[in-house]
Structure 1
Amino acid sequence: MSINRMALTLRLSNRWSLVALARQDVVRRLRVAAGLVVAATMLSACSSATELWDKVTQKDDTFVEQPAEQLYNEGLFLTNEKRDAKGGAKKFEEVDRQHPYSDLARKSLLMSAYAYYQANDYDSCIGAATRYVTLHPGSADAAYAQYLIAASHYDQITDVSRDQTRTEKAIAALEEVVRKYPTSEYAVSAKAKLEAARDQLAGREMNVGRQLLQKRNYIGAINRFKTVVTQYQTTRHVEEALARLTEAYMAVGIVGEAQTAAAVLGHNFPDSPWYKDAYNLVKGGGYEPTENTGSYISKAFKKLGLG
């Protein structure tokens, strides 16, 4: 081998040796870096675990237990004096939470329902009052708790053009007051609210019935007015319902029911302007208001002693 070729071979050998060394150095550095990352991750995990354990085991210095009497009196003060009913409700709830077996716990549960009602937080009132009735059904204050449930639904009743779910819930709760606690002082108020709530549902039926009548959907309208006559005879809407039934039945040619509707209207509400309209409709068709005692209209009023 020539001297020049030997020199070239030596230079190439040295170069590849340097490259190999460089690669080994890079690999070493990567391994060190990876090791550091793993170590850091483990340390971080250990640190997080330690912090979590500390949080679980450490004492919460922010909670300070207070006597039941103090919490209860603070609740009364906030509700009655400061007009901060929601703040008062929270204090009453603390009595139940911190002293669940104390004499004031039961009373505080009812007071929290009352305070929420005063704050117009009806859902919270219903929740607290329902819990009271469930836990203490035989209590002397159970009637008031049930009344608070009913009143909370009642106060959320919307106008007749909107959904009447709250009205239906109010009626069910008010009926519960009257049924379970008929001699309580709340039964009288419940009955008054009950009539108003029923009047609301009758108003909804009348509202829909009028719209159907205007569209000449007479059968649909009759069904709505029929509901008022058979289910809500004691409401202020029944006079108009009878007159509208007269109108709808005359329109579809069911004269007998039209005559009965007009006759029942005249018998029970002789001075009603609605009777004058019904009478004129029947007379205009060549008939007289005549009651058919076998009609559902006649039976609905005889059932109440009004026929």
Structure 2
Amino acid sequence: MSAQRMTLEPRKPLGHASPARAGRSLRLAAGLIALAIPLSGCGTGALWDKFTAKDDTFVEEPADKLYNEGLYLMNQRKDNKAASKKFEEVDRQHPYSDWARKSLLMSAYSFYNSGDYDSCIGAATRYVTLHPGSPDAAYAQYLIAASHYDQIPDISRDQGRTEKAIAALEEVIRKYPTSEYSTSAKAKLEGARDQLAGKEMDVGRYYMEKRDYTAAINRFKTVVTRYQTTRHVEEALARLTEAYMAIGIVGEAQTAAAVLGHNFPDSRWYKDAYNLVKSGGLEPSENKGSYISRAFKKLGLG
């Protein structure tokens, strides 16, 4: 991103007291008098100034100066953490200014560059909330999605972050379909969907090893019905052929093999599925009413 450099603004009597209380009052009075003596001396001006001086440690700096210092730290020094502090200082010292708006987006960007994804999401979300009509709102929304996407975990772990990435990427595409970030969001979206399909396949294979074919079918079915455009769909169809043959539902096995052969005729998975069906004395044959067939018809792949 680039940014243009801009120039810009009498007491009442106490009454009678007990001897003990009177003693305490005298001691307190004596203490106050003792404190007052050095303060009233002619050589105590510096001490008095220390007590009465104003705190001038805070000095407000021009917004453009802070902003450009942030750019320098980010672009020249590659110190994104220090840069983000400069941008945040613009917002603190000059809230409601145009510089504050620019700095909020730049702080989100510097947080992203430093790998502080949660802070990036917070700053970018604030930008979208405060400036939804800004030309840069699309980029702020994209930073939110990219921050989630870059934290997608391995398929062996919980995929909650992947789900968040998908939702945020879809938001970019829905809100800003003609922006330059929509194309990148679509590519990332396919990658995130591929990750979820991979998770389903991983669990499905586990159930296949345990010979829990019904549980395995449910996982492979999810891939076929929800993630047909991912690289895992070929294997999912082959695994469905295998699982359905194992439990004797040969019609679905034949359909899975037929759909696999129709859409991916050169796939090694089709060769395996074809041989498996043939070993049972059958041929791949598509049942148009099967969920497998309908899933691909919906995408125009059947």
Query: Which has the greater radius of gyration?
Result: 1
How big is each residue's C-alpha offset from its partner over 1:191-228, in whole Å with a ceiling of 9 and x where there is no partner? 10000110000000000000011000101000000000
Indicate which of 158, 167, 182 corresponds to 1:163. 158
Distance (Å, rounded) in 1 between the aligned partners of 2:55 and 2:110: 29
Is 1:98–2:88 an aligned residue pair? no
TM-superposed deviation, 1:163: 1.1
3-state SS of 2:60 partner = coil
Distance (Å, rounded) in 2 between the aligned partners of 1:60 and 1:260: 80
Partner of 1:282: 277
Distance (Å, rounded) in 2 between the aligned partners of 1:171 and 1:133: 18
Q: What letter matches 2:223 in structure 1?
A: V
TM-superposed deviation, 1:59: 4.6
Partner of 1:72: 67
Partner of 1:84: 79
Indicate which of 241, 247, 250 corresponds to 2:236. 241
Partner of 1:114: 109
Partner of 1:201: 196
Alignment of 1:169-248 (within 5 A): 169-248=164-243
Q: What letter matches 2:135 in structure 1?
A: A
Is 1:150–2:145 an aligned residue pair? yes
How big is each residue's C-alpha offset from its partner over 1:102-145, in whole Å with a ceiling of 9 and x where there is no partner? 22110110000000001010000000000000011111000000
Q: What letter matches 1:159 in structure 2?
A: D
Indicate which of 122, 125, 134 corresponds to 2:129. 134
Partner of 1:18: none
Distance (Å, rounded) in 1 between the aligned partners of 2:53 and 2:168: 47
3-state SS of 2:56 partner = coil
Unaligned 5+ segments in structure 2 are 1-18, 32-51
CA separation of 1:59 and 1:217: change in aligned 2, threshold 3 A:
farther
Kindly indicate which of the two structures has a greater share of residues assigned to helix. Answer: 1
Distance (Å, rounded) in 2 between the aligned partners of 1:156 and 1:123: 10
Distance (Å, rounded) in 1 between the aligned partners of 2:114 and 2:254: 52
TM-superposed deviation, 1:101: 2.1
TM-superposed deviation, 1:159: 1.0
Indicate which of 265, 272, 287 corresponds to 1:292. 287
Distance (Å, rounded) in 2 between the aligned partners of 1:290 and 1:72: 67
3-state SS of 2:292 partner = helix
TM-superposed deviation, 1:58: 8.0
Distance (Å, rounded) in 1 between the aligned partners of 2:183 and 2:264: 27
Q: Which runs of 4+ in 1 moved over 4 A?
A: none
How big is each residue's C-alpha offset from its partner over 1:156-199, in whole Å with a ceiling of 9 and x where there is no partner? 11111111111111110001111110110001110100001100
CA separation of 1:96 and 1:295: change in aligned 2, threshold 3 A:
same
TM-superposed deviation, 1:61: 2.8
Partner of 1:8: none
Alignment of 1:258-277 (within 5 A): 258-277=253-272
TM-score, length-scaled by structure 2: 0.83
3-state SS of 2:198 partner = helix
Q: What letter matches 2:66 in structure 1?
A: L
CA separation of 1:59 and 1:232: change in aligned 2, threshold 3 A:
farther
Distance (Å, rounded) in 2 between the aligned partners of 1:102 and 1:130: 18
Distance (Å, rounded) in 1 between the aligned partners of 2:252 and 2:75: 58
Distance (Å, rounded) in 2 between the aligned partners of 1:162 and 1:129: 27
Unaligned 5+ segments in structure 1 are 1-30, 44-56
Partner of 1:27: none
Distance (Å, rounded) in 1 between the aligned partners of 2:208 and 2:68: 59
TM-score, length-scaled by structure 1: 0.82
TM-superposed deviation, 1:286: 1.2
Residues paired across the two proteins, number: 261
3-state SS of 2:186 partner = helix
